[in-house]
Amino acid sequence: MGEQEIPGSIQALPLKQGVEHNEWSNWKWQMRNRISSVSEIKDSLNLNSKQLAEMMLVEDRFRTAITPYYLSLANLEDPNDPILKQALPDIRELEMADFGEADPLSEEDDMPVDGLTHRYDDRSLLVVTNACAMLCRHCTRKRIWNSVDAAVSSDNIDKMIAYIARTPIIRDVIVSGGDPFTLPTQRLAEILSKLRAIPHVEIIRIGTRTPVTVPMRIDNELCETLDRYGPIWVNTQFNHPNEITDDSAAAVDRLIRHGVCVNNQSVLLKGINDDPETIKVLCRKLVRIKVRPYYLFQCDQVEGVEHFRARVSKGVEIMESLRGHTTGFSIPTFVVDGPEGTGKIPIMPNYLISQSEKMSVLRNYEGIIVGYREAGERITPQENRTSSGVASILAGKRSCLVPTETKRMIRRNRNEACPRM
Ligand SMILES: *Cc1c(COP(=O)(O)O)cnc(C)c1O
Ligand code: SF4
């Protein structure tokens, strides 16, 4: 993180000037001082009047909300800045709106109680607030933004908790939103204590983007509350290396020191992080701050989000560049959240090339194709069968096919006094 500028020191934004450090580092100040229209910052942005007018038109349908902290990470002059692209409205949200659906994951079809999605047997997801610190332009739940930061009533939350209490197959509860960490800590504590009182609830997860958008929210009071009702797993959403700052690293560190496990769910976003190098750097930086990359999501088919959708093939290409090439636990699983409520479906390159009863033929990250013997099978060469290609491995005539120029083979040959072949 050494090369990163310390966010508090960026002076580009007029708003930042003259802000006392103790105000800047107070999450409530950050929430109160959110930018709620591009018009507030138009003089700092590199926009012409047409672009500004278009953005303001988009705001009529999909609101803007950006914390001063998050905006301070952006290069305001650069319209392709990955922070700005996640924060500022884009006319394509309206132009391409007819592509998407309001609820592509059919979350509302799997709701036994208003606000609670019970899709997978052993876990369920609760929307406890509709408010977020920042409104991400790529949000899957854009449909609930309209209801001006509407809180979910205690009565409604009690009904969700009652459903969990009478449904013993649920052992994992995902507290989501909106962003649960926008609730007052006391309110969150009430929800967590009621969930923790249910004997069959083994783990509580919280989905929050505050470590990225307003890391000062992760204060001691909050951390102590989480510690009290653990085990708690926090799933956050870093999408770009520029979001990993001293402040966000410190927020994660506070969580970890209070016994909270922190995982990351990135969204694959066209023009922001849809290339192997950006994701690789992001994942490396995440493990440096002790965050485990968990999922890389294909961007959903949501109304107003179409222009962010990369192709599924891009995700496959990224996964190909990670597995074997970098630390195994810094590799997320690429998933598509399927339509019709089919849920998360993992997608990756094919490593299983062929099979017979006796063996599977696999390929590794270097492109080596190798036979893998099944239990109890003896592989003997079958003379009557072909001795070329993958079939020759299945026929027991060779163990593997090796590309001529893998780095490892070059290294091996170099190390040998008398090179083979
Ligand atoms: C993502 C999701 C979960 C959790 O899935 P995991 O694969 O366990 O992380 C649970 N319920 C719903 C409705 C979800 O969308
Ligand atoms: S924090 Fe999550 S729920 Fe809130 S706007 Fe961003 S993506 Fe949507």
Give the pLDDT band of residue 149 (cuts 50, 70, 90). Answer: low
Start-to-end CA span in the chain (Å): 46
Looking at all shown ligands, the one closest to residue 337's CA atom is 1
Q: How far apart are CA 133 and CA 136, in angstroms?
A: 9
Residue 175 near ligand 1, beta carbon < 6 Å = no
Which residue has better confidence, 170 or 19? 170
Residue 174 near ligand 1, beta carbon < 6 Å = yes
Give me 225's structure tokens. Answer: 């509350």
Q: What is the pLDDT of residues 318-337, one digit of tens each?
A: 999 999 999 999 999 999 99
Percent of the chain with pLDDT over 70: 93
- CA neighbor of 247 nearest in space, from 283, 208, 213, 215: 215
Distance 288 CA to ligand 1 centre (A): 26
Give this prediction's pTM.
Answer: 0.91
The CATH homologous superfamily to which domain 99-346 belongs is Aldolase class I (3.20.20.70)
- Check: CB of residue 293 under 8 Å from CB of residue 254: no
Give the pLDDT band of residue 9 (cuts 50, 70, 90). Answer: very low
Q: How far apart are CA 145 and CA 326, in angstroms?
A: 38
Q: What is the pLDDT of residues 48-77, one digit of tens each?
A: 999 999 999 999 999 999 999 999 999 999
Q: Phi-psi category of 271—alpha, beta or left, where left has phi over 0 and alpha has psi -120 to 50?
A: left
Residues labelled as active-site residues:
119-120, 123, 132, 136, 139, 141, 300, 337, 344
Domain with CATH 3.20.20.70 in the chain: 99-346
Residue 344 near ligand 1, beta carbon < 6 Å = yes
The rounded Cα 344 to chain-centroid distance in angstroms is 13
pLDDT of 18 over the 80 cut? no
Distance 412 CA to ligand 2 centre (A): 49
Taken as a whole, the chain contains a residue count of 421
Give the SS3 label for residue 85: helix
Which of 7-16, 184-193, 212-221, 399-408 has the least mean pLDDT? 7-16
Give me 242's structure tokens. Answer: 């520029």
Q: How far apart are CA 44 and CA 68, in angstroms?
A: 13
Residue 132 near ligand 2, beta carbon < 6 Å = yes
